[in-house]
Amino acid sequence: MFVLKIGGAAGLDHEALCQDIAALWRSGAQLVIVHGGSADTDALAQQLNHAPRTIVTPSGHHSRYTDRQTLEIFAMATARLNRLLVERLQQLDVPAFGMSGVDGRLLQARRKATLRSVEDGRVRIIRDDWTGSVTGVNKALLRTLLTAGYLPIIAPLAISDGGEMVNVDGDRAAAAIAGALQAETLVLLSNVAGLMRNFPDPTTVVAQLSQAELAAAGEWAQGRMKKKLMGAQEALSAGVGTVVIGDGRRATPLQDALAGHGTTISAAGVQQPALAAVEAHA
């Protein structure tokens, strides 16, 4: 079982990705896909005159400032992307099933009551925020779809305890799904060559990382990479064998990631490469 997260930043080649997904599907692999939508959300927000804003937390994490209007713009942008992926995969004879984490309470989350943001060196409290952290996965729903032979394509929205739609981080949502399904491998495809020791120098990509080294990397990595590493840590802690941070701009991005391109992070005792972990779908 593989879980694949398709990054939402600009630069990924979706056509190459769909071809690669179709090839892996045809080989009999069982697969779940989570996608982002950050670049499309930014573009739509600009068109709707609701310019995107980024929050930097006191601990250095970057996230989108998500007021209610931004949440709905995110829902629109990711819905379009979801439909385009499903359309292309259907053309390639893959029985893709698009949905968001809100549908059937697929992803449950805790809404963040308040967020702390650093602005001009001062900490500000933000209350109109519609983001959350994933607390649960409707495993039975995913299993039902997989058993019926569908390939779920999931947009990273979730439902809170209070029934509110919230935006969740795609990498961490994919990690939660991979953990819930006990996937052997989680692939996080982004628009960089992998985790770089000296970002943005591509000659410093870290090829292999142990779970112990991952904690240290979470300290020195910057910006959005921090969240990806947090997701990797959560997946490994939940029992996923291998996490690959791969380059989504390559001609065969998924196969290359599984063959060891990018950064491969392994739980203790897991052998490489990840491609050995193919399990037949229905």
Question: What is the smallest separation between the CB atom of 174 and ligand ADP, expressed in angstroms?
Answer: 9
Angle at 2 between CA 222 and CA 110, to 5 degrees: 55
Nearest to ligand ADP of 20, 278 (CB atom): 20
Nearest to ligand ADP of 63, 117 (CB atom): 63
242 within 8 A of 248, measured Cβ to Cβ: no
Nearest to ligand ADP of 135, 191 (CB atom): 191
Question: What is the smallest separation between the CB atom of 14 and ligand ADP, expressed in angstroms?
Answer: 12
C-alpha distances in Å from residue 271, one per residue of 5, 109, 119, 208, 275 = 22, 33, 45, 12, 10
State the distance between the two ends of the chain, measured CA to CA, in whole angstroms: 12
| Pairing assessment for the beta strands 165-167 and 263-266 based on DSSP bridges | unpaired
Question: What is the smallest separation between the CB atom of 5 and ligand ADP, expressed in angstroms?
Answer: 7
- Output the furthest CA–CA distance in the chain (Å, rounded): 54
**Closest residue by beta carbon to ligand ADP:** 7
C-alpha distances in Å from residue 67, one per residue of 39, 45, 156, 250 = 17, 12, 16, 35
Nearest to ligand ADP of 29, 188 (CB atom): 188
Question: What is the smallest separation between the CB atom of 199 and ligand ADP, expressed in angstroms?
Answer: 4
Nearest to ligand ADP of 136, 218 (CB atom): 218
Binding site for ligand ADP (CB under 6 A): 7-9, 36, 38, 171, 190-192, 195-196, 199, 221-225, 228
Question: What is the smallest separation between the CB atom of 87 and ligand ADP, expressed in angstroms?
Answer: 21
Chain centre to alpha carbon of residue 118: 25
